[in-house]
Structure 1
C-alpha cells in the first residue's frame, strides 16, 4: 500500500480525497492531511510518504515552494500539483521544482486514477531496478537460507517482480522447498507489552526482537523446507513446508515450542505466536500470512476464559475495526473521535481481564497506526515511552478507562515536536482543571477552552473530570459560582444582583436568578432578606 499526503486548504477537496482514494486507486491510502505547506513540512518530519498531492495556491507556503522543498530534502517523495490555472508558465515552474504531474481543476476520478497508476508504475519500476541490481550482484553469494528468506519476504510483502526473480533462481537450483505439497506461514514475536510493563525501553524490546529473529534463523538454517524473515511490526515470519499436512503442523508446533523455550531460558523473554492457513500452492502464502496476522491478535487473549465481554463481543473481533477508525481519526486530527473509539473498545473488555491483555491491545494499536501511517521510528519510540509511563499510572484500572487514557496519550505523543512531556495522570489533570476554574469562574469559560489549555480533547477531559472529581464539569462550575455568590452576598448584603451575576460569570441577571433558585431553592432577593 502506497502512502499519500493531501495538502489543500479547501475542506471539500480534502474530504473528497480522504473518502475516495482507496476506491479510485486501491493500492493507495491517504496517510496525512495538511491545510498548507508549513503543516505539510511538519508532517514530512513525522511520517514517510510516497506521494504528496498539493494545491498550488495556499497561505504561508504555496504548492510550488513545497514541491521544491520536497525535491531537495525528500527526493524519494513524488509531488503532484493541483491547479485551476492552465498556464504554461506554471507547468514549467512545476517541472523545475521536481513535480511528477500536474492536475487541472475540476479533477475527476479518472484523472486521479490515471495519475496514481502512473506514479505507482514509476515507483515499482524504480524498486524493481534497485532490487534487480542488488540481487544480480549478490545472487552467486547468497546461501540457500538467504534465498529462502528473500523469497518468503517477497511473498508476504507482495513484491511480485522480486518474487518471480527469486523463484526462478530457486527453481533453477531445484531447491527442495518448492517441491513440498503443503506449506504455511506463522508469526512469532516477543511479548512487547509484557516487557513494557516490566519497565523495558523501546530499544530493549527491539533488541530482544532481533535476538528472537536470530534464534529462529538458527533453528531453520539446516532445514531446507523452512524459511525466516522479518514481517510487519518487526515480528518474525516463519515458513514451514512438508509433503504431509499433519507432519507440517506438528513440525510447526515443535519449532515454536523450541524457540519459546530458548527465549525464556536465554533471555527470560516471553513470546507470542500464531499459525496461518495451510496452502497447497507456495505462491499463495500471502493468504497464510494474513490468516496468521489475524490469529496473532487472538494470541493477545492468553487468559483462561477470556473470550468475550459482558455484551458477548470477542475483543479480537472489534480490534480491526478499532484500528481502522482510530487511524482515520488520527490522520484527520480528530482527537475526540480517537478517544471515543478507545473508550468504547476498552470498556468492552471483561472486568476480570488481565491488565496485560489491555496493554497488548494498546501497544499493538499504536504500532499499527505507525505502520499504516509510516510514522518514523523516533515517533513510535516516543509513543512507546508515553504508553509505558501512562501504564504505570493507570495499571490498577487498565482494563477500562485507564487503558483508553493511556493509549490516547501515547497517540497524541506521536505528534509532539518538542521534547516529550510525559502526561499528567488523571488526578493531576483534573486538579489542574479545577484550579483553572477556581481562578477564572467569573469569565465565560468552557470545557473546550480548558481542554485546549491542558493540551487534551474536550471529550477526554469531560470523561476524566467526571471520573476523578465525582461530578460533571458543568455541575462543578455551577457549584463553584453559586458558592462564590453566597460568599459575596454575605460580604456585601447591599450588592446589586446584576453586579453579583457578572462577578460570578453570568452574562445576565435573569439566568443567574434561575440557576440560583434551582441550586438553593430560593431567589437571590429572598436570600438577601435573610442576611
Structure 2
C-alpha cells in the first residue's frame, strides 16, 4: 500500500487525477489531495507520503520548494511534477532536486500520467526492498548470539552437542557465563494459564518477562542462563557464583576463578550447593508471587534433586519435563522437586522419572508431530504417531511410561494452547490424560491419544475457515449497504481492525476475487438497476453509487458493458416498450 498526494491550485485537475488514481486498482494506492500548498503541508505533517504528484508553479510556494519540505519530513518520498509550461529551466531545476521520477506537461493523457506513477512506485518498491534487506541483516546480527546460544543448548539437551572436552571452547565462543568443568543445577518453568487468551507474540513477551523476573531474584547468588524449549517451557542452567570458573571469556580471569574454586574443600563445595538449592526454591516462590501480581499469570516450576554433570543434562531435562507434566492442565503454581515426586508416587521405578529409553529420538519425533499439527498435515501426523507408538511396543514398562507421559505433556500443551480443555473434558475422560494406570493396555492409550489428535485437527480446520468467511461476509454486506460512500481499502480495513494489505490479501485468498473488483461489480449492478427502473439523472446515479464525477462513472460503465449508461438506459426502455 502506497500513499499518493496530489497538489495543484486548479481544483478540476486535482479532482480528475484523484478520481483517476482512486479507481486504478492495480496500483494499490491510498490517495490524498490538496488544492493549496498550506493544506499539503498539513497533510505532510500528519501522514507519511510516498509519492507527490504536484504542479510546479503554485501561489505561495513552488512545487520544487514543496517537495523539499516533503523530503525533510519523509526522506524516501518521490515526486512526479506536472506543469502547464514547457520550460526547460524549470525541468532542470526540478531534476537537480533529486528523487524526481518524471516531469510532465498537464496536457498529457491519463495513460502517460499513470505510467509515470507506476514508474515511481517501482522505484519506491525497489528502495523499500533494499532497506528491508539491510534491516533484516542488521536484526540478524543483533539476535544471532542469543539464538545461537539457544540452538546450542537445545542441541545439547537432545544429545547432539559437543564432547565434554570441547564444551569449554563452545562456552567461550558463545560467551556463555557458565563453567564446563563443574556440575550444573537445572530448573524447568512453565506458564500455567493464559496461553489460550494470548497471541503468539504476547506469549513470547510473557516468557521474556518471566525470565527477567527470575533473573532479578537469581542474579545476586548464581550464574545462570535461561533457554526457551519446544512447547513454551523455559529451562535454567544454574551454578553458584562461588564455584563458577567460566564467567569471563578472558583466559586470565578464568584461571583466577579456577584457582579460587580449587582452594575450596569438598565440604565447602557441598555447603555452597545446598545453600544455592535452598535459595532457588525460595526464588521460584518469589517469581510465582511476582508473576501473579504483575503479569496476572501463574507459573509452575520443577527442580532437580541436585546438581549433575553436563553430560547428564539431557536426561535431567527429560526428567524435569515429565515431572512438570504430570499435572499439566489441572494444577497450577506447582513447585516440584524430583525426590518429592518419587516419594508421592511411592518410589515406583516405572513412574517415568528414571528410564533408559532413547529420549533424544523421541524428542525429534515430537518436533515433527508438532510441525505436522501446525501445518494441518493430518495424515502425516497420524502416520508418524502410529509409527512412534507401535515401535514402542517392545521396550520395558518404564520406557512405555516415559513415552506415555511425554505424549501426555505434548497433547496437554496443545489442548491448553487452543483453549480446548473444556471441549476435551466434555467428549473424553480427561482424567486419563495424566494417568497411564487408568488405561487397560498400551493399545488403549494409543487410541486415546489418537482421539485427542482428531479433536485438535478438527479445531484447526474449523478455526482456519470460519473467521475468514465471517469477515468476508461482513465486508461484502457493508459494501452493498454503503455503495454511495467512500469504500477505500483503508476505510474497510479499519472496520475489521486489520491492515489494508492484510485485508486485500485475505479477500483475494478467500474469494479468488480482488476486493476492488467486487466493489466495482456491486456498483455497476446497482447502476444498471437505477438506469432501468428509475428516472434519476446520470450524475445522480453516479453519486448514488460512490462516484464523485459522472465522467468517471461513464468510463467504468462503458469499460464493463461496452455501452454508455445512457445507451444502456435507452436499450432498456426500448426493451420494455417492445414487451408492452
By the TM > 0.5 criterion, same fold?
Answer: no
> Which range, TM-score by smaller chain?
0.3 to 0.5
Larger Rg belongs to: 2
Give me the TM-score of the superposition, normalised by structure 1.
0.35
Give me the TM-score of the superposition, normalised by structure 2.
0.32
